Structure 1
Amino acid sequence: MKYFKLFSFLSLFFIYQNASAQSTFQKYFIDSVDNAVDVSNFLNAGFGFLPVPIIITEPAVGFGGGLTAIYFHGQKKQRENLDTLNRYAQSKDLPPITTGVAGAYTANGTWLGALFHQGSYKNDRFRYLGALAYLSPNLTFYGSGVIDDGEYSFNMQGLMTFHEFLFRPKKDLPLFTGLNYIFFNNNVTFIDNEPETEPLKEATNLGGMNVVLMWDNRDNTFTPTKGIMTATEFGLFDKSLGGDNDYTNFAHRTYFYLPIKKKKLFSGYRLQYQAKWGDNVPFFELPFVSLRGIPALRYQNHNALVLETEWRWQVFSRWSAVGFVGTGFTAPKIQEFDFTQSRVAGGFGFRYFIASDYGLHAGIDVARGPEIWAWYLTVGSNWFR
């Protein structure tokens, strides 16, 4: 009899535990409107870190993985923000305040550990982005006019920190201005096929500061569907800022989002230009063509220009299809761009609407560049910052 009671107790206990687990999962990971998987309630709860697996598919470093633990600070908030024409007020989510730690490793021996934070404060009057990381990437330098073309494998290793402070002068205008600073205590080692140019072998610390001017009226920071984010940075890398080299940096990026068919078809357009000039620009700091399907650093020079468009078709309520294509150019001087010598890359993918309260979509892209196929895990917009 006592065994029967024990068996009954254990059966009821496990049934209760299973029902409790299902209830918890339903509460935090199922949308009550359409009964689909959705992590919004978990993110809104603000009671702990969200573990997010990292899947690295960047061709320059090989396949890899890691883990990020992200803390979302508190409940989702709302604010009223005027549109660019000041005709009417629209509800818009505040950019989330998050803190996280991350670690990752890839097939070619690249690894990193990082601590980061981003936030929007005082009803989005102030924004901050900061990171502290120790990283050791194994990459390839292709000459880029600095030395003879070839494949020169190298390792960078050191402590890097980045901080950006932005201020919105008028609360009813999405115009921000501020400064950012980067320092990288970097040591460069060539793994094989060492170049004969001696300066490339030296330890190179980076220290630079930029003035930032940014306009951002996107309807969402994760997966925007309308609005413009345009930003310009101008600054100096200098010995007085902690670096070993003196040179000038200019960067501009514009992301324009336009809905074509309401709740069905969305388009995005990207223009990105970067220039670094001076006699002592480190080879790994030269601007490069950044497109899905092209490895990082593959096409570099003192000037790099990228144009890209991405279209998303909302096939079902949660699932959408994505297509994208872009082209990139490099040149030693801005007046020497040869627009007949473009590097084109494009592809397709899918997205799942994973967090409706945050407008967050995630999925996979497959891309083809001039030389290789590649695939990417995309969470939010592929056009970050």
Structure 2
Amino acid sequence: MLTILFSCSVRGQEPATEQEPAIQWNESSDLLDDEKALPVNAAQPTPFTAIHKKDKNEFVIAPIPFLNPSQGWGLALVGQYIFTLKDDESPPSIVGGGAFYTEKHSYGGGLAYSGKLANDQWRVGLAVGKATVFYDFYGIGYDQNKEDISIPLKQQVEFAGLRLMKQVTNKLFLGLELIGAEITTNIETESIPGNLTNEIVAKTDFVAPNLKAERDTRNDSFYPTQGSLFDLQAEFHSEELHDNTTYQTYKISWNQYLDLAPFSVLAYRLMARFAYGDVPFYSLSMFGQGGDLRGYETGKYRDKMMWAAQTEYRYRFTDRWGGVAFAGAGQLAPKVSEFDGAAFLGSGGLGLRFRLAQKNPVDFRFDTAYGDQKISYYFSVGQSF
């Protein structure tokens, strides 16, 4: 599903979904015929029978309430058109836009396009938007974060992104993203505890190239039941490209999906992210984004190095309704060598799913997660990973 502005308004402080802070275009379904249809038992309901139709063109327009620990309640108005070009065997393309407002008075909007062209030989993405986001900053490093002392920040961001990827072999894509952004940060209090302001950068402008490699064998990206998604990214920031500092971030992730039985799927995800150089606080690795891990306020725990692992069992009760159970764990550290002995952070919980679209398995999700010694709730659209 195409993730619009509210998943990329601020790096790590997503008001609408707990997803990747940078601009993302998650690829659409490769399932274009009936040959990979799920097993059907005539005595049982038949979830997702519609996803095996070649004609998947449809509009998805809805006001969507959401909830997460970083922003509390919010409302997003989302409009998307999912379509396949005539005589093109590519997966569906998506064009859409959205706007959001949250309980913390964060707001923003954007437009995006994710295109699959020439029988999926090319994948193109475009995105533009702007947002103002209010959130709490707890400092850097586990020892600082666990003190639970924060200051309120106001962050304004304007961004534009371009993505171009080419399929070089079976399901393997290589390409480049260019992300341009202006980020302005203000402290929203006169009472500042400790030295939390030492890491605050007032204003940053940058154009960052992001090299990408991706192998996608999922049978569907909205609700995959088979296959995997491997993603490798290397993002470069430099003062020569009008950034305030010079640093790099590297991220690797792997999602696997196993079709256990009719209507039952086991999904698991492994990821690691490493940042080197003079990294601003908003570009650090952090829990609570991209579902890594649910149960944590986005950005409360952040540092240069991070890894996380999680698993999720998914079951469809009917074509419309489903449920999940999930668990995960991970670590943060200033250096890779310091993972040894670093504190483990874990979470787990249960969730419900309700299908929104007619021809594509786009779910509304509600998750209850326990992490950081408290219970958190999530309302959003799309699977966690």
- TM-score by length of structure 2 reads 0.78
> How many residues are paired up?
330
Higher helix share: 1
Alignment match, 2:176:
179
Structure 2: where are the runs of 5+ without partners?
1-41
Displacement after TM superposition at 1:256 (Å): 0.6
* Secondary structure at the counterpart of residue 284 of structure 1: helix
Aligned residues with identical type, % of pairs: 25
Off by >6 Å, runs of 4+ in structure 1: 33-41, 75-78
* Secondary structure at the counterpart of residue 335 of structure 1: helix
Give the alignment's Cα RMSD to 1 decimal.
2.9
Structure 1: where are the runs of 5+ without partners?
1-32, 80-93
Kept after mapping to 1: 8 A contact 2:365/2:383? no
The structure 1 residue matched to 2:66, chosen from 32, 53, 56, is 56
Counterpart of 1:215, as a letter, is R
Alignment match, 2:286:
288
Alignment match, 2:328:
326
- TM-score by length of structure 1 reads 0.78
Q: Distance in 1 between matches of 2:133 and 2:197?
A: 21
Alignment match, 1:377:
379
Counterpart of 1:118, as a letter, is S
Shift of the 305–45 alpha-carbon distance from structure 1 to 2, 3 Å rule, reads closer
Kept after mapping to 2: 8 A contact 1:250/1:276? yes
Kept after mapping to 1: 8 A contact 2:351/2:367? yes
Please list, as runs of the form range in 1=range in 2, the aligned pairs for 1:304-323 lying within 5 A after superposition.
Answer: 304-323=306-325
Higher relative contact order (CA 8 A, sep 6+): 2
Alignment match, 1:267:
266
Shift of the 146–370 alpha-carbon distance from structure 1 to 2, 3 Å rule, reads closer
Shift of the 147–256 alpha-carbon distance from structure 1 to 2, 3 Å rule, reads closer
Kindly provide the CA deviation profile for residues 249-276 of structure 1, in whole angstroms up to 9, marking residues without a partner as x: 1011110111122x23210110111111
Kindly provide the CA deviation profile for residues 93-121 of structure 1, in whole angstroms up to 9, marking residues without a partner as x: x4321111211111111111111111211
The structure 2 residue matched to 1:65, chosen from 64, 70, 75, is 75
Q: Distance in 2 between matches of 1:100 and 1:35?
A: 29
Alignment match, 1:91:
none
* Secondary structure at the counterpart of residue 200 of structure 2: helix
Q: Distance in 2 between matches of 1:314 and 1:211?
A: 37
Kept after mapping to 1: 8 A contact 2:121/2:166? yes
Alignment match, 1:129:
125
Displacement after TM superposition at 1:183 (Å): 1.8
Q: Distance in 2 between matches of 1:73 and 1:268?
A: 27
Please list, as runs of the form range in 1=range in 2, the aligned pairs for 1:194-205 lying within 5 A after superposition.
Answer: 194=192, 195=195, 197-198=197-198, 200-205=200-205
Alignment match, 1:337:
339
Alignment match, 1:152:
151
Q: Distance in 2 between matches of 1:95 and 1:229?
A: 15
* Secondary structure at the counterpart of residue 341 of structure 1: coil
* Secondary structure at the counterpart of residue 337 of structure 2: helix
Shift of the 201–360 alpha-carbon distance from structure 1 to 2, 3 Å rule, reads closer
Shift of the 355–107 alpha-carbon distance from structure 1 to 2, 3 Å rule, reads closer
Kept after mapping to 2: 8 A contact 1:209/1:241? no
Shift of the 78–359 alpha-carbon distance from structure 1 to 2, 3 Å rule, reads farther
Q: Distance in 1 between matches of 2:240 and 2:381?
A: 38
Greater C-alpha radius of gyration: 1
* Secondary structure at the counterpart of residue 271 of structure 2: strand
Q: Distance in 1 between matches of 2:259 and 2:88?
A: 22
Counterpart of 2:128, as a letter, is L
